[in-house]
């Protein structure tokens, strides 16, 4: 492998990974479950689901945090996946990571337990004026940094000693891909020899679940949670909200080689494109999806025929899976139906902000270990989406290059090209 790519830029490699999903903690536990076709989706027990249309999710319930909130659990999971990634990469002394932090983080907002903690008034009716009057009490001070947008990244930067101003990014369901792209670009610019990339999301709380539910985005197959996420199946009916985190240590190949690091895979290129069609729906012509995949291939210096596996966005919504197929078909032509395209979301659900990072890690593992994770629950093929989705059972395959797709609400699309080490 050359130290520079087809455009003379530093080649960017992955030397450390860490992951948590509803399937468990750690790369090995996740890979074992993922390739065995196990589902992490279950009934929600974190809070009462009375009156809710969707009562299942891919929650991470095995990581204890004090005073659970989306930023608190997101931060704790990020801590753990970064620690795992750094242990694999063996880079830098403890607490002194030699590069910047790029964090994909869900939007931060005070949640109902904290809001109710401020809601007490002298009158029959409680108003925001009461909330403002109570907010300054000393017992609320801890909630101030907790519900700032910058505090998760700040705390991670302190703990792991990353360099410079940490960047928190949100491109909805494409955020993890955006964070990887920011890291790749920084190394290519020569700003840093290494970058720490994290995607984390712990948004399963009543209001977030209801918000997605009101948009009719979620599956309502509550009776059999493990069967609810059915990407590419004709009877798919929505995505499953899920939690998780993924961390990647990115380095220039030169830097990794010089310190004798084990190279797990290569980030060959990234592509992005925005969609101006609708807030939640893709352009019917698939143009932005097509553009983002083509941009990624061009950035990687690869042709469509070089790609041997597609880690799909594959959310299991009627709309997404159809549009993704339209995009894949346009880019890959007659070969589209013959390229294995599997969706991790069939097992881990949609980890939203974290999905791009977690699924890039699974893509890299597929190349490294020669096994393609399956799309489970594929019982009823959709004639409109004739994909080889690696149905139900993992498949051995030697693949040199793969892509991982991420498409977000708000029209933000990212595609990452991963190469074998």
Partner 1 sequence: MDNHDAVITGIGLISCLGEGVDAHWAALNAFQPVVDATSFPGFPVHPMAPLTLDKQISKREQRQMEPWQRFGTYAAGAALDAAGIKGNAALLSRMHMIVAAGGGERDYAADEAIMTGLPKAADPDGFLNEHLLSDLRPTLFLAQLSNLLAGNISLVHGVIGSSRTFMGEESSGADAVRIACARIAAGQGDCFLVGGSYNAQRADTLAIYEMGHTLWHDGFAGVWERQARGGGMIQGSQGCFLVIESRAHADARGAAKLARIRSVATDRSTRRPGEATANARQQLAALQGTYDPASIAVISGASGVAAPTTEESAFLRELGLPVRATGNAIGHGMEPSFVTNLAIAAAAVANGTLFPPLEATEQPMTGPLKDMLVTSWGHWRGEALAHVSSV
By CB under 8 A, the residues from 169 to 198 that bind partner 1 are: 169-172, 175, 178, 182, 185, 188-191
Nearest to 323 by CA among 293, 291, 289: 289
Residues composing the chain: 421
Footprint of partner 1 on residues 264-303 (CB under 8 A)?
272-280, 288
Residue 9 CB, nearest approach to partner 1 (Å): 9
Q: On the CB side of 65, how many CA atoms lie within 13 Å of its CA?
A: 19
What is the distance between the alpha carbons of residues 150 and 169, in angstroms, rounded to a whole number?
10
Angle at 59 between CA 57 and CA 65, to 5 degrees: 150
Between 251 and 299, whose beta carbon lies closer to partner 1? 299
- State the Cα torsion 213-218-220-221 to the nearest 10°: -160
Residue 73 near partner 1 by CB under 8 A: no
Between 206 and 381, whose beta carbon lies closer to partner 1? 206
What is the distance between the alpha carbons of residues 317 and 350, in angstroms, rounded to a whole number?
11
Are residues 100 and 164 in contact, defined by beta-carbon separation less than 8 angstroms?
yes
Helices (H) and strands (E) in the chain, counts: 13, 15
Between 184 and 249, whose beta carbon lies closer to partner 1? 184
The tokens describing 154, both together, are 């700040």
Known catalytic residue at 278: no
Q: In the set 211, 294, 322, 395, which binds partner 1 (CB under 8 A)? A: 211
Known catalytic residue at 6: no
Between 270 and 376, whose beta carbon lies closer to partner 1? 270
**Burial class of residue 369, CB neighbours in 10 A (0-12, 13-18, 19+):** exposed
Residue 190 CB, nearest approach to partner 1 (Å): 8
Residue 233 CB, nearest approach to partner 1 (Å): 26
Residue 234 CB, nearest approach to partner 1 (Å): 26
Total residues interacting with partner 1, rule: CB under 8 A: 81
Interface stretch with partner 1, choices 195-203, 242-250, 385-393, 407-415 (CB under 8 A): 407-415
Footprint of partner 1 on residues 350-369 (CB under 8 A)?
none
Nearest to 91 by CA among 160, 10, 186: 160
Nearest to 415 by CA among 275, 286, 267: 267
Between 207 and 305, whose beta carbon lies closer to partner 1? 207
Residue 110 near partner 1 by CB under 8 A: yes
Q: In the set 62, 64, 125, 260, which binds partner 1 (CB under 8 A)? A: 125
Footprint of partner 1 on residues 219-248 (CB under 8 A)?
none
Footprint of partner 1 on residues 138-167 (CB under 8 A)?
140-141, 143-145, 147-150, 153-154, 157-158, 164-167
The secondary structure element, H or E, covering residue 395 is strand 395-396
Enumerate the active-site residues.
173, 313, 350
């Amino acid at each position: 492998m050359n130290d520079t790519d087809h455009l003379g830029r530093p080649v960017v490699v992955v030397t450390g990974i860490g992951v948590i999903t509803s399937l468990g903690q750690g790369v090995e536990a996740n890979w074992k479950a993922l390739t065995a076709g196990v589902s992490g989706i279950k009934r929600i027990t974190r809070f009462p689901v009375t009156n809710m249309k969707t009562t299942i999710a891919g929650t991470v319930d095995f990581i204890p945090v004090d005073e659970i909130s989306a930023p608190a659990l997101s931060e704790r999971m990020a801590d753990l996946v970064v620690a795992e990634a750094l242990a694999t990469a063996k880079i830098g002394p403890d607490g002194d990571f030699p590069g910047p932090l790029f964090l994909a983080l869900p939007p931060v907002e005070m949640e109902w337990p904290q809001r109710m903690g401020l809601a007490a008034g002298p009158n029959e009716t409680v108003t925001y004026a009461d909330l403002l009057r109570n907010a300054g009490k000393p017992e609320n001070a801890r909630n101030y940094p907790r519900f700032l947008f910058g505090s998760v990244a700040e705390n991670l930067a302190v703990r792991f000693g990353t360099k410079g101003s940490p960047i928190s990014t949100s491109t909805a369901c494409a955020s993890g891909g955006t964070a990887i792209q920011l890291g790749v670009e920084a190394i290519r610019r020569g700003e840093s020899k290494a970058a720490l990339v994290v995607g984390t999301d712990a948004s399963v709380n009543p209001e977030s679940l209801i918000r997605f539910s009101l948009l009719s985005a979620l599956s309502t197959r509550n009776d059999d949670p493990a069967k609810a996420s059915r990407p590419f199946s004709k009877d798919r009916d929505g995505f499953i909200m899920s939690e998780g985190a993924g961390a990647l240590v990115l380095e220039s190949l030169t830097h990794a080689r010089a310190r004798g690091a084990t190279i797990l895979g290569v980030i060959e290129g990234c592509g992005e494109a925005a969609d101006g069609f609708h807030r939640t729906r893709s352009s019917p012509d698939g143009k932005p999806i097509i553009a983002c995949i083509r941009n990624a291939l061009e950035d990687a210096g690869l042709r469509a025929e070089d790609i041997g596996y597609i880690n799909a966005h594959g959310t299991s919504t009627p709309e997404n899976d159809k549009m993704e197929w339209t995009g894949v078909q346009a880019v890959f032509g007659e070969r589209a139906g013959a390229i294995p395209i599997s969706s991790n979301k069939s097992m881990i659900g949609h980890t939203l902000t974290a999905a791009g990072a977690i699924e890039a890690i699974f893509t890299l593992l597929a190349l490294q270990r020669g096994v393609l994770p399956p799309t489970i629950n594929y019982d009823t093929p959709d004639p409109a989406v004739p994909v080889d989705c690696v149905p139900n059972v993992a498949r051995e395959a030697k693949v040199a290059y793969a892509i991982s797709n991420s498409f977000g609400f708000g029209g933000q699309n990212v595609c990452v090209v991963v190469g074998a080490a």
